[in-house]
């Protein structure tokens, strides 16, 4: 579906929402979008990049964004690309159900655009700045979730909480990868020869880089904290498991002692005290004595180990 909006005097927005083959042919004919660019625009795994073609006046910018609908979905990637093509005064944005919010936000803020004569590049830079700032809220949310889990783990160490920490760690990996990819894109944008970048544009690009680098630092710090926290409580769980296995081993050894002694006295051979009235009590006392001695030896070994 193709929708056209006149954002400013010098920028016309074409929202290409999951375009059909016929609509793609229309875009190719009217705006000179190449088949290669269509491939980049529709690839859900495409990294952030700038694509120029000598045979086309179009500059394609693929930017990685936080996908609003997927932020709380553990089974889907929390980030994904959005493609924006610039051809003269035309800005073509390729969207789908996950990143359609970018165009919706742009149209909602249309009246707040600083200069009504801004061109497509200035609009794209504004979009990139707002998208970069969204990472802060997502990282703060992860940090709050981590603090809640940490308070829970102080009272009860559970594998469910450790699993949730791993989920937060996975999200941060996506955020870090996305932020690094976007940072490389913006740095390349500063030196792009196809686009006309003035001093104001350079200043905007620098502002975007500041936001991205700040987001990178926040995400890296949050990732390191969660990693250390997860390792610490994993070690606690492993230690608890070792203590449990140690206790069960001691019980198994203790239960084996009476079995051995009762087995000896159960044979059809003569043994000391076998003919006395209290021989059964004697076997129990011998078993208890050996178990007690074994327990003392274990305690001494534990003390020496410490």
Convert the pLDDT of each residue in 4-63 to its tens digit: 888 888 888 888 888 888 888 888 888 888 888 888 888 888 888 888 877 778 889 999
Angle separating helix axes 199-265 and 279-305, nearest 10 degrees: 150
- pLDDT at res. 188: 85
What residues contact residue 281 under an 8 Å CB cut-off, 6+ apart? none
SS3 content of the chain, % helix, strand, coil (to 5): 65, 15, 20
- Give the mean model confidence (pLDDT) for residues 261-276: 66
Residue 252 and residue 150 share a domain: no
Residue 104 and residue 114 share a domain: yes
Residue 43 and residue 82 share a domain: yes
Convert the pLDDT of each residue in 238-254 to its tens digit: 666 677 777 777 777 77
Backbone angles phi, psi at 178, to 5 degrees: -65, -45
- pLDDT at res. 274: 63
CATH number for the domain including 166? 3.30.460.20
Residue 291 and residue 272 share a domain: yes
- Residues 306 and 300: their CA atoms lie apart, in Å, by 10
Please identify, among 220, 237, 254, the residue that sits at the C-terminal boundary of a domain: 237
The closest alpha carbon to 120, from 60, 163, 67, 172, belongs to: 60
- pLDDT at res. 245: 78
Residue 183 and residue 118 share a domain: yes
Residue 64 and residue 187 share a domain: yes
Structural domain containing residue 60: 2-237
Strand order in the sheet with 79-87: 2-8, 11-17, 90-95, 79-87, 56-66, 49-53
Please identify, among 178, 204, 237, the residue that sits at the C-terminal boundary of a domain: 237
Residue 195 and residue 293 share a domain: no
Residue 287 and residue 221 share a domain: no
Give the total number of structural domains in the chain.
2
Convert the pLDDT of each residue in 108-160 to its tens digit: 876 666 556 778 888 888 889 888 888 888 888 888 888 887 777 667 666 67
Residue 248 and residue 164 share a domain: no
pTM: 0.72
Please identify, among 187, 211, 237, the residue that sits at the C-terminal boundary of a domain: 237
Residue 206 and residue 280 share a domain: no
- Residues 14 and 7: their CA atoms lie apart, in Å, by 10
Query: How sure is the predictor about 302, in pLDDT bands with cuts at 50, 70 and 90?
Result: low
Residue 28 and residue 118 share a domain: yes
What residues contact residue 28 under an 8 Å CB cut-off, 6+ apart? 34, 35, 38
- pLDDT at res. 222: 86
Residue 246 and residue 219 share a domain: no
- Give the mean model confidence (pLDDT) for residues 216-236: 79
Residue percentage of the chain with pLDDT more than 70: 80
């Amino acid at each position: 579906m193709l929708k056209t909006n006149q954002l400013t005097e010098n920028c016309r927005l074409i929202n290409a929402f999951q375009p059909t083959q016929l609509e793609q042919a229309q875009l190719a004919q009217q705006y000179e979008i190449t088949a290669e660019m269509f491939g980049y625009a529709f690839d859900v795994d495409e990294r952030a990049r700038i694509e120029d073609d000598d045979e086309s006046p179009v500059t394609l910018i693929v930017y990685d964004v936080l996908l609003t609908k997927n932020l709380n979905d553990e089974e889907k990637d929390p980030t994904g690309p959005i493609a924006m093509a610039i051809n003269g005064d035309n800005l073509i944005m390729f969207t789908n159900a996950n990143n359609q919010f970018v165009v919706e936000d742009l149209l909602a803020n249309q009246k707040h655009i600083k200069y009504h004569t801004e061109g497509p590049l200035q609009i794209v830079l504004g979009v990139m700045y707002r998208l970069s700032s969204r990472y802060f809220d997502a990282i703060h949310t992860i940090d709050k979730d981590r603090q809640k889990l940490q308070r829970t783990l102080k009272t009860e160490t559970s594998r469910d909480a450790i699993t949730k920490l791993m989920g937060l760690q996975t999200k941060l990996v996506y955020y870090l990868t996305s932020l690094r990819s976007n940072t490389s894109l913006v740095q390349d944008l500063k030196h792009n020869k196809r686009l006309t970048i003035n001093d104001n544009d350079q200043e905007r690009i620098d502002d975007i880089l500041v936001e991205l680098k700040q987001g990178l630092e926040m995400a890296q710090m949050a990732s390191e904290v969660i990693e250390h926290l997860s390792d610490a409580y994993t070690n606690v769980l492993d230690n608890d498991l070792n203590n449990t296995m140690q206790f069960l081993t001691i019980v198994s050894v203790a239960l084996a002692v009476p079995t051995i002694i009762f087995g000896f006295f159960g044979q059809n051979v003569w043994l000391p005290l076998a003919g006395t009235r209290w021989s059964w009590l004697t076997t129990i006392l011998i078993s208890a004595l050996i178990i007690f001695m074994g327990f003392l030896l274990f305690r001494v070994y534990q003390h020496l180990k410490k």
